[in-house]
Amino acid sequence: MKDMALWNEGDWVAAIATVILGAFLAGGLAIAASRKEEALGHPKGLYMLFFAEMWERFSFYGMRGILIFYLVQHWAFSQGEGNLILGAYGSMVYITPVLGGWLADRYLGQRKAVLFGGILLALGHLFMAFEGTGGQDDPTINVFWMALALIIVGSGFLKANISVMVGQLYKLTDSRRDAAYTIFYMGINVGAAAGTILVGYLGQTVGWAYGFGLSGIGMVAGLIVFVLGKNALRGAGEAPSLLPKNKELLIYIGGFAAVAVMWFLIQYRDVIQLLLIVCGVGLLGYVLFEAFKLPKQPRERIFAILFLIALNPLFWGLFDQAPGSLNIYTDEHIDTGNIPASVFQSINPIYIILFAPLFAGLWQFLGKRGLEPSAPAKFALALFQVGAGFLVFAWGAQSVGMEAMTPVIFLFLIYLLHTTGELCLSPVGLSAMNRLAPKFMASLIMGAWFYMTAVGSFVAGKIGEATGGESGEMSKELTLSIYGQIGWIAIGVGVVVLAVSPIVKKWMHLDTLGDDNVGDDLRGGEEVGEPQAAGMHPEVRS
C-alpha cells in the first residue's frame, strides 16, 4: 500500500470517486433488498433505472474522456482529425436513438430495447481494451472501429428508451415526476463524474487497456442491475403487443447488421455529414406530416417541440468542445499538476450534482409565484451562458499573455457557465419532449431530441477540426480566436430566442395539458385527468 505522503492529487481524486461510487452502490443494494414496492417515496423501479443508467454513463463518459488522446497519441491521428472522429462518433451515438425509439414504440417495448442495447454496449466497451501496437497501419484498428460501432448501435437501443421508462413509472399528473427525474439525473452525473475520474486516470497514467477495460466492467455492472431489477419496473417499458419470436429475432439480427454499417460510416466521416442532412430533412417531414393530422393544440405543441429541438445543434456544438478541443487545450496549455487532463472532464458532472437540486428548487420556487421562465426563455438563458463561458475563458487566457500557461481557474469558470447553461436547457428540453409529445410518438420525439444533439456533436467535431488549422495541430491563438467568435454567436442567437419565447410558450398550451388516455391526442388536448401544473420540469440529462 502506498505511503499516504506519497499520494498525489490524482490518487486522491480516484480514491474519493471510488468511495462515492461504492456508497451509491451500497444504497442501491439496500433498496433492492427491500420488499416494499416503494423506497424513499418513489417506486423501486426508479432506483433500478438510476443504477443501470449510472453505470452506463460511467462507461460512456469515462471512455469519451480519454478518446481524443487515444486517437492522437495511440492511433497517431492529427489533433484536427481526432476532433472530427470524436464529433462523428458522438453524432452517431445520438442519431441512432431515432430508430431505436421507433422500434421500441412499435415492436420491442422500451425494456427489451434497453436490454439489447446494454449487451451491445458491454461488448463495445470491452473490445475497446484491445489496443494493439498503435498507429493507423496496425490491423487492430479495425477492432477499435468495431468497438465504436457496437457502442453507437447499443446507444441507439438504450439512450432514448431508458429516459422514457422513468416517465412510465408515474402518471402525468403525479407531483413526484419532477423529483423522480432529478434523482435519475443525479445517477447519470454520479456515473459520469466517477467514470471520467477513474477511467481517465487509469487510461492516461497506467495504460489505455486498463481505462477502457474499466469502462467495460462498468457497463456489465449496469446490465446486471437492469436485469435483476425487472420486477421492480412493474410493467414499465413492455411491448405494446406480443411480438412473434421470429420477428423479434429479425430485429436483433438487424441490430448486429447495423454494427457493420456503423463500422463503415465511422471511417468515412463525409458520408455521415450527408446522412445527417438527408435524415434530418426526412425526420422533420415525418414529424410535420404527423403533426398536421392532429387538432390545433397538439399540433402547435409539435411546433413548440421542433423550435426547441432546432436549438440543440448550436448549444451542443459549443458545449461538446469539452471532450475535444478543450480537452487538448487543457493538456497542452493549462498547468494541471499531476492530474491527467481527462480527469478535468469530471468538473461538469460534479457541478451538475451540486447545482441540479438548486435549479430544481429554484424553478419550483419561481413557479409557485408565477415567475418561472418558460422553456424557450430558459433555452435563451442557456445560450447566453454557454457563450459567456467561451468569452470568459478566452479573455482569461489572453489576459496573462499568450506565452504563459492559462490559469486553471478559467477552466473551472468555463465549466461552471456551461453547466448552469446545460441545466437551463437539457433537463428542461427533455421534460418538454416527454410532456408535450403525443403518446404514440413519445420515443420518436425523444429520439428526435437526441438526433439534433447528434447534429450538435458533428458541429462540435467541425469546430474542433478548425482549431487545428491547416496543419491539423491545435494553435493556442487560433483556438482562443474561434472560442471568442462562437461565444458571441451564441449570445446573439440567445437574444433572438428570448424575443420569440412568448410565441413558443403559447404553442405549448400547458394550461390544457392532462393525463393521456388513448384518445387525448385526438381531442385537441381536452382534459382527461387533472391539468398538468405549468412549470414542472423533470431534471434529466442523458
pLDDT single digits (tens) 504-538: 988 888 777 765 443 333 333 333 333 333 333 33
For 158-168, the pLDDT digits (tens) are: 887 887 888 78
For 7-522, the fitting CATH number among 1.25.40.10, 3.10.105.10, 1.20.1250.20, 3.30.420.10 is: 1.20.1250.20
For residue 298, give the amino acid letter: P
Supply the pLDDT for residue 386. 97
295: phi then psi, degrees, rounded to nearest 5: -65, 175
Give a three-class secondary structure readout of 343-398.
HHHHHHHHHHHHHHHHHHHHHHHHHHCCCCCCHHHHHHHHHHHHHHHHHHHHHHHH
- Which residues, 6 or more positions from 289, have their beta carbon under 8 angstroms from its beta carbon? none
Compute the CA torsion angle 540, 275, 130, 59 (nearest 10 deg). 0
Supply the pLDDT for residue 27. 61
**Predicted structure pTM score:** 0.83
Give a three-class secondary structure readout of 131-190.
CCCCCCCCCCHHHHHHHHHHHHHHHHHHHHHHHHHHHHCCCCCCCCHHHHHHHHHHHHHH
Give yes or no for residue 123 having a pLDDT over 70. yes
Supply the pLDDT for residue 23. 66
Is 235 or 257 the better-scoring residue by pLDDT? Answer: 257
Supply the pLDDT for residue 527. 31
What is the C-alpha radius of gyration for the chain, rounded to an integer number of angstroms? 22
- Average pLDDT (8-32) is 61
- Which residues, 6 or more positions from 534, have their beta carbon under 8 angstroms from its beta carbon? 367, 372, 510, 511
Supply the pLDDT for residue 22. 65
The answer to whether 415 and 189 have CB atoms below 8 angstroms apart is: no
DSSP character string of 244-264:
PHHHHHHHHHHHHHHHHHHHH
Percent of the chain with pLDDT over 90: 40
Supply the pLDDT for residue 17. 58
**Sign of the C-alpha dihedral, residues 79, 84, 87, 88?**
negative
What distance in Å separates the CA atoms of residue 186 and residue 349, rounded to the nearest whole number? 9
The answer to whether 443 and 94 have CB atoms below 8 angstroms apart is: no
Supply the pLDDT for residue 542. 47
Supply the pLDDT for residue 119. 93
For 362-408, the pLDDT digits (tens) are: 888 888 888 989 989 999 999 999 999 999 999 999 999 888 999 99
The neighbour count for residue 526, using CB atoms within 10 Å, is 12
What distance in Å separates the CA atoms of residue 364 and residue 311, rounded to the nearest whole number? 24
514: phi then psi, degrees, rounded to nearest 5: -135, 180
**DSSP three-state, residue 320:** coil
Average predicted confidence (pLDDT) for the chain: 83
Supply the pLDDT for residue 381. 96
- Which residues, 6 or more positions from 445, have their beta carbon under 8 angstroms from its beta carbon? 287, 305, 433, 436, 437
What distance in Å separates the CA atoms of residue 72 and residue 70, rounded to the nearest whole number? 6
DSSP character string of 187-227:
HHHHHHHHHHHHHHHHHHHT-HHHHHHHHHHHHHHHHHHHH
How many residues in total does the chain contain? Answer: 542
Give yes or no for residue 286 having a pLDDT over 50. yes
Alpha-carbon distances of 321 from 60, 86, 90, rounded to whole Å: 16, 10, 12
Alpha-carbon distances of 465 from 78, 88, 321, 470, rounded to whole Å: 9, 11, 10, 9
What distance in Å separates the CA atoms of residue 445 and residue 456, rounded to the nearest whole number? 17
What distance in Å separates the CA atoms of residue 331 and residue 496, rounded to the nearest whole number? 36
